[in-house]
Structure 1
Amino acid sequence: MIGFILHKIKQLLFLRRLKKAKKYISVGNSHFLEAFDLLLNSPEPHRVYVKVGDDSMLNCNIIFESGSGEVIIGDRSFIGASQIICKSKIEIENDVFIAWGCCLYDHDSHAIDYKERQKDIERQLSDFRNGKNFIESKDWNVVNSKPIKICSNAWIGMNCILLKGVTIGEGAIVGAGSVVTKDVAPWTIVGGNPAKLIKQIPVELRKRII
């Protein structure tokens, strides 16, 4: 009985989160699972931050730490309990699998210059102590950011990290626990930290272009 009640409470909280999030989402007939959440720092009203196609299933957290950015997810893609952290643009095409525990991060979070990182700490303390979101005053102009793209038919294994500026080619597979810092060629399998080529996917297993 207690388990049933807790499940209902969890479901109710999810539906409330989803109702709030949908103000910033354009979606076809895709589905949002119970772990899904959209987190926005200083969102612009009436702006669409996330565009989702048809027949996709999302169980991820999508986080916009600044007021900018765009996440585009195509058709028939599945994203498990992972995190998508966006400042510029993250695009996931059609028929993509992303397992749980992954992190897509399209920016460096902080500047290379240590003096700017010191300013980050000062701003965070000030915001937190004044009851604000602790990164509300962050200066994003000093943070490097580049779009991430995952092309159709790719598969990202569990606990992978995809860093700014990378493109995962069509049909590519990224092995579990990999850290991707450079582009992955289409129809290849990569793995490791940093991710490196393991092998080519045989021609007979690739999508035929008619």
Structure 2
Amino acid sequence: MALAQEQLGSAKLEAKSTRGLFRSFIGKVLQWMAMTRFPIGAKNRCRLERLRGVKIGRNVFLGGGNILDRVRPDLITIDDEVSLAGGVYILTHSNPTTPLRAILGESAHVIKPVHIKKGAWIAINVVILPGVTIGENSIVAAGSVVRKDVPPYTVVGGNPAKVIKSINPVLSEEN
């Protein structure tokens, strides 16, 4: 444990035991396999992320190069019919360095779930921060940083992501 903490420098080691450290290592290996840009297929990416603890529904597309939180993947829920393009980062925690914790207080250490609801489309290179819910059938534009919840049937984009427009669910259901 001391060796692992030494390798992290001022970052705080999340694992509290050798077993926890081992589980974390296995999770990182599975994630590396899932996030590869090699053509392993979206279904296999989903299988690997499920092994890590991510809750993933049916007919989900996971593009290559996605990073679903390495520390607490169990706090991520992805409902049915969701599409995540490549390079998407989903974070469920924020862990400042020890000096910054002394300045900002323990409230700076954040651990919150992320939920992506049915039918959402997350475009390439999006970052989703802890505690965010992406509403049903919403679209997050490429390169966005999502800090707040996205309402259902909404298009958001930018850094930080802001509402661009609403999607008419009646028109959507006719197609």
Class of the TM-score when normalised by the shorter of the 2 chains: 0.5 to 0.7
**Corresponding residue for 1:191?**
157
User: Which residue number corresponds to residue 42 of structure 1?
Assistant: 22
Give the TM-score taking structure 2 as reference length: 0.64
CA contact (8 A) 1:111 1:143 kept: no
1:58/1:158 CA distance change after superposition, 3 Å: farther
Structure 1 outlier segments of 4+, above 3 Å: 58-62, 205-208
Aligned mate of 2:125, from 156, 159, 165: 159
Matched letter for residue 42 of structure 1 = F
- Which residue of 2 is the match for residue 71 of structure 1? 54
Give 1:42 shift.
Answer: 2.8
Return 5+ residue gaps in structure 2 as ranges.
Answer: 1-19, 25-29, 32-41
String of CA shifts for 1:176-204, please: whole Å, max 9, x gaps.
Answer: 00000000000000000000000001233
RMSD (Å) for aligned C-alpha atoms: 3.3
> Hey, which of these two has a bigger chunk of strand by percent?
1
DSSP 3-state at the match of 2:93: coil
Aligned length: 132
1:95 aligned partner: 81
TM norm structure 1: 0.54
Q: Contact 2:93/2:112 (CA < 8 Å) preserved in 1?
A: yes
Q: Secondary structure at the match of 1:57?
A: helix
Percent of aligned pairs with the same amino acid: 37
Once residues 181 and 115 of structure 1 are traced to their aligned partners in structure 2, the CA distance between those partners, rounded to angstroms, is: 21
Q: CA deviation at 1:106?
A: 0.6
In structure 2, C-alpha distance between the alignment counterparts of 1:112 and 1:192, rounded to whole Å: 31
- 1:113 offset after TM fit, Å? 5.5
Quick one: which amino acid aligns to residue 171 of structure 1?
N
In the alignment, the residues of structure 1 paired with residue 98 and residue 88 of structure 2 have an alpha-carbon distance, to the nearest angstrom, of 24
Structure 1: distance between partners of 2:145 and 2:108: 24
Query: 1:53-90, CA deviations, whole angstroms, 9 ceiling, x for partnerless residues?
Result: xxx6254785xxxxxx8410000000111110142500
Aligned to 1:180: 146
**Which residue of structure 1 aligns with residue 6 of structure 2?**
none
Aligned to 2:136: 170
After superposition, residues 113-128 of structure 1 pair within 5 angstroms as 114=100
